Structures are given as structure tokens and as C-alpha cells.
Amino acid sequence: MSDSFTGIEIGSRQVKMTQCEDNSVLRVALEPLPDNYVNRGTIVSMEAMSEFLKEMAKKHRFTDKKCALVLPNSVAFSKRLTMPAMTVEHLKINLPYEFHDFINESRKKYVFDYCLLEMHYNDGGKPFSMDLMAAAAPKEKLQEYTLMLKHAGFKLTIAAPEIFAYSNIIRAYEAEEKPEETREYCFVDLGYYTTKLHIFSSHRFEVTREIDHGCSLLDRAVADERNLDEHIAHAYVTENYENVWSLPCCQDIFDTIAVEIMRAINFYGFNNPASRLDTVYFCGGGSLIAPLVDTVVRSIPLAPRPVSELFKTVGQLSPEAFTSPAAAGITYR
């Protein structure tokens, strides 16, 4: 029996919706969000967002009611853990205490979950420690998302931070390709307000670095340069209207973002001298801005690869479809 889901990621400027079945991507839709629907990862009105998702699903004929949602960093906490080997029952008791540096209020107000990455055994074959990816999110916020999606016609079945989605993508890819050696993966998400780097060793999460520079800087720079309203400037940047990507002010921003990415990658290499990271995958809206990607590639010691190679797809999908891999990966089982 097939297992099909609608994957949803609600970004700062657009919503990404995927139709996935048995770890294959069938369809992808992207719709720009009106102003003031999302403020730095926080949905301003759940009612308005519910109606938006309902209309988007109707427009693009998404009929799978089971929904997998990417939780934003403003809602969910996630971290890599190494803990003593223990039973599931003991882990449920101990896991909340691992988030003491994130959660100051009662832990009873949160939902905790985990993904086992690797179990370590001693010479006698007895488990002694385990590597986990763990997440925590407020129960109240998850209830709000559940109700919002219900009103939009969906049933929330899976909800997890984006690093779980990327891990799912790598796990499914390696199950097909079966690499002989452990590979490292670097995803660079060129987002609107920030740029994020996610680095994995196989499907095991290593580190995330968030940089406070994103493509919104291009909108402001073009607006100032051409004396435009910022909304109009955004359209100029998106379409490269009048060749605005070649403006010196835009190139300065490309350089700034590239330098910060270079520093983050070099810092990872310094802290992980045995690292063999040699490949980078670009995603996010900024991945469609060719001179931005080219500038970053010239600044880092990693070879760019299309993120599409990590997916099984049905039919042809546009390059825009792969700007949000997490919206597909979150559906993977």
C-alpha cells in the first residue's frame, strides 16, 4: 500500500507544498505569501494562514489529506545528542532534561521526540551509548498548527524541524546509492532574511550555522539604487529585471554572503580536521540567483551539486521545485 503525504513548509515569503509518495516527489507548488502573514518565522494569524493553505491546495489540486509540516526554528528546538544506552521508557524520562539550555519553563508544556542515529556497542556486543537527533516543541503551538491545518483540510501527521527533513533525504538517497564510504553533505539555504548551513555526516546531523544576511538585502539595495518601493524592487530582483543582478550594490551583497559562508565552512573544517567535506548543495530562493551562487562557489573549497540529484521524482520538475528540499524530505518515512 502506498504512503502518500502533502509536505508543507511555511517560509517568510512563500509557502512550499509537495505531493510525495513512498519517498518520491510527484509534484511541487510554491505560492508567495501576502505581507504580514509571517513575521520572522512566526505566523501572525493562524486563521488567515489556514485559508491561504486551503486555497493553495485547491488551486494546485493537492488532495492528500495526511500532512507533514516543517517546523520553523522559532517554534522547535533541535540538537544532536550522545547519551548512555537506555530503554525507550528511560529515554522518555531523561530526554527533556537535555533541553535545559533552551527551555526555562515547565517541561510538561513541551513535546519531545528523537531519531536514533547510531547505537554504540562494547567488545562484548552490549550497547553502551547512542547518538540521537532530538527535538522539542511547545504543546500549545503544535495544537495551534494542528487546528490551523485541520481548517485548511489537512490532518497533521508529521511535524519536525528542518534538519530532520534533510536527514530523511540523505537516508533515502544513500539507501538507493549505497555509498562505500561515509559521505558528508553541506546544504546552503540562501533564504530571504538569513542564510543557513546544515552539515551532515551521512544522515547524522553535525552542525547548523545561521548567518544574518539574506536576499532581503538585495531588495533594499535595489530599492535605494533605483528609488523604488521595496515590493517592486523584490520583483526586479526575482526576475533580474533591467539586469539588476549586475549592479555593484548587489555584487557587494553577494560578496558579503559568500564571505560569511566561507568563514562558516572553514570553521567547521578547523573543528573537524578529519572532515572530507567536498560537496555543497544550494537551496532557498537565492539559489535561483545565478551570480550569487557563482560568487559563493568561487569563495569556498566545495564543488556544487544540484540538490535534485538527491531525490527520486516522477516526471519533470522545474528548478524552482528544489528550492525547498525540506518540504519533500519531511514526508519521508
pLDDT in tens, 154-197: 999 999 999 999 999 999 999 999 998 899 999 999 999 999 99
Query: What is the pLDDT at residue 206?
Result: 94
> Which element (helix H / strand E) includes 260?
helix 248-271
Query: What is the pLDDT at residue 112?
Result: 95
DSSP per-residue letters across 52-110: HHHHHHHHHT----EEEEEEPTTT-EEEEEEEE---HHHHHHHGGGGGTTT--S-GGGE
CB within 8 Å of 143: residues ≥ 6 apart: none
Measured between alpha carbons, how far is 136 from 15 in angstroms, rounded to an integer? 23
Inter-residue contact 15 to 52 (CB < 8 Å): yes
Query: What is the pLDDT at residue 43?
Result: 95
DSSP tag of 315:
S
Residue 1: pLDDT over 80 = no
Task: Give the residue, 224 or 314, on which the prediction is more confident.
Answer: 224
| Domain regions of the chain by residue span | 79-139
User: 63 to each of 7, 54, 212, 298, how far by Cα in Å?
Assistant: 12, 11, 37, 43
DSSP per-residue letters across 213-236: --THHHHHHHHHHHT--HHHHHHH
Query: In this prediction, what percent of the chain has a pLDDT beyond 90?
Result: 88
Cell readout for 32 is 508567495
Closest CA to 69 of 28, 8, 134, 138: 8
Q: Where are the beta strands (DSSP E) in 162-248?
A: 184-190, 195-201, 204-211
SS3 content of the chain, % helix, strand, coil (to 5): 40, 30, 25
Query: What is the pLDDT at residue 300?
Result: 97
- For the stretch 60-105, pLDDT in tens is 999 999 999 999 988 999 999 999 999 999 999 999 999 988 888 8
- For the stretch 3-24, pLDDT in tens is 899 999 999 899 999 999 999 9
Query: What is the pLDDT at residue 113?
Result: 94
Domain 79-139 is of which CATH architecture? 2-Layer Sandwich (3.30)
Residue 303: pLDDT over 90 = yes
Query: What is the pLDDT at residue 235?
Result: 95
Query: In this prediction, what percent of the chain has a pLDDT beyond 70?
Result: 99
**pLDDT category of residue 107 using cuts at 50, 70 and 90:** confident
- For the stretch 230-274, pLDDT in tens is 999 999 999 999 999 999 999 999 999 999 999 999 999 999 999
Say how many residues make up the chain.
333
Query: What is the pLDDT at residue 64?
Result: 93
Which residue do the cell numbers 513575521 mark? 39
Average pLDDT score, the chain: 94
Burial class, 258, CB count within 10 angstroms (exposed 0-12 / middle 13-18 / buried 19+)? buried
